[in-house]
Copies of this chain bind each other. A is one copy, B any other.
Amino acid sequence: MVNMNDVAREAGVSRGTVSNYLNKKNVRGDAKHRIEKAIRKLHYVRNTAARDLRASVSSYVVLVIPTVWTPFFSELTYWIQKELNDRCYKVILCISNNQYDQEKDYVKMAEEQRVAGIISISYSQLTQHVRLGIPLVSIEKDETGLFPLISSDNYSGGQLAAKEFYKRGIEQYIFIGSNQASSTAMVARQSGFIDFCNDRNLNYKVYTTPSSRHKKEFHVQHEAILKKVTADSLGKIGIFAYADESALETWRILKELQVRVPEDVQIIGFDGWKIFDNRTLGISSIRQPVKDIASCSVKELDKQIKGEGNGSVLRKMLPISFYSGETTSEI
């Protein structure tokens, strides 16, 4: 494979001069032309891996994410890649499926590759494994408190959901969560919802389903809850699901049960899934500011990499909003 020496020889200059040329340093006119000619003639392509090794830099960023196969994560991945690419970072996509071992392997890989930084959406204690001082920004959860953390304002999201129900005259406030341990985000959503209810003396109930990864039970449990909820009376019931995935399931089952949505029961999800561009799935939902999460994370990571961190560890909560879909009534 043709390298800088070949180019230098062909152009009749030294390797250093070629390097200078490639790095936009000043090079005399005639030497410059001869180098350009040599590059074209030999089809020289610089080896940035070697360059990075020598210069002790890296332009790689590792993205550790549970999946890309869900609207929220695929949108997030889309924006993060874009932001990183705009800043000339390459992204190494690491899908963890929420497996702790996978996550650890990815971090190890990141360290061995001496990557510039890591962005992680992890629900385990991943951040404890970063030894080499690689800059890391965490999205949604970091309990170590050692790294910058970007997340949606989940608590306000829960409040907002309750408030939107309130505006629509809901009398029965239902929260459906999951029994996933350690979901800080979910707990915050629930707290916001409940606090709003308590403040106004509204009737609320909290239910829990297994995580959606246990498909069968997820479904069965959901159905049981909904049957119970809709047994007594209809018409003023509002169900706040901790995530769109759950809200969709709720909607589907209610259809099966012949319960009219939103006339009999109203539903609000969380995430604000968009299939692409602006195509939602119809459910009303608390929308996470996905693009902002991406740009904020990347901006912060970039700062860390460039050593511009001001010492204090950033904790940033981004504002959510309500998307009014087909599962809540007009007001």
| CB neighbours of A71 from chain B (8 A) | 275
Q: Which of B53, B108, B278 contacts A49 (CB 8 A)?
A: B53
Interchain CA distance A87-B36 in the complex, whole Å: 39
Given A53-B50, A93-B91, A93-B93, A245 and B276 contact (CB-CB distance below 8 Å): yes
Interchain CA distance A52-B60 in the complex, whole Å: 15
Q: Are A67 and B78 interface neighbours, CB within 8 A?
A: yes
Q: Are B45 and A132 interface neighbours, CB within 8 A?
A: yes
Q: Are A276 and B131 interface neighbours, CB within 8 A?
A: no
Interface: A299 (CB within 8 A): no
| CB neighbours of A52 from chain B (8 A) | 49
Interchain CA distance A268-B28 in the complex, whole Å: 65
Q: Are B114 and A49 interface neighbours, CB within 8 A?
A: yes
| Interface positions of A from 108 to 135, Cβ below 8 Å from B | 108-109, 111-114, 131-132
Q: Are A70 and B131 interface neighbours, CB within 8 A?
A: no
Q: Are B215 and A70 interface neighbours, CB within 8 A?
A: no
Interchain CA distance A261-B277 in the complex, whole Å: 25
Interface: A81 (CB within 8 A): yes
Q: Are A69 and B58 interface neighbours, CB within 8 A?
A: no
Given A50-B53, A58-B49, A275-B70, A92 and B90 contact (CB-CB distance below 8 Å): yes
Closest B-chain residue to A97, C-beta based?
A: B82
| Interface positions of A from 68 to 104, Cβ below 8 Å from B | 68-71, 74-75, 77-78, 81-82, 85, 90-95
Q: Are A78 and B69 interface neighbours, CB within 8 A?
A: yes
Interface: A182 (CB within 8 A): no
| CB neighbours of A248 from chain B (8 A) | 275, 279
Interface: A46 (CB within 8 A): yes
Minimum C-beta distance from A72 to chain B (A): 10
Interface: A201 (CB within 8 A): no
Closest B-chain residue to A75, C-beta based?
A: B69
Q: Which of B1, B49, B68, B75 contacts A113 (CB 8 A)?
A: B49
Interchain CA distance A90-B105 in the complex, whole Å: 12
Q: Are A78 and B82 interface neighbours, CB within 8 A?
A: no
Interface: A227 (CB within 8 A): no
Closest B-chain residue to A45, C-beta based?
A: B111
Q: Are A68 and B70 interface neighbours, CB within 8 A?
A: no
Interface: A48 (CB within 8 A): yes
Closest B-chain residue to A69, C-beta based?
A: B78
Interchain CA distance A43-B131 in the complex, whole Å: 8
A47, A53, A90, most chain B CB atoms within 10 A: A90
With A49-B52, A50-B53, A92-B92 already in contact, 16 other A-B pairs whose C-beta atoms are closer than 8 Å = A45-B112, A45-B132, A48-B112, A49-B49, A49-B53, A49-B113, A60-B92, A69-B74, A69-B77, A70-B276, A71-B275, A74-B74, A81-B93, A82-B95, A90-B113, A275-B281
For this complex, 29 residue pairs linking A to B, each with C-beta atoms less than 8 Å apart, are A1-B132, A45-B108, A45-B131, A45-B132, A46-B112, A48-B112, A48-B113, A49-B114, A63-B93, A67-B78, A67-B276, A68-B68, A68-B74, A69-B77, A69-B78, A69-B276, A70-B74, A70-B275, A74-B74, A74-B77, A78-B95, A82-B95, A85-B95, A92-B93, A215-B278, A245-B276, A275-B275, A275-B281, A281-B281
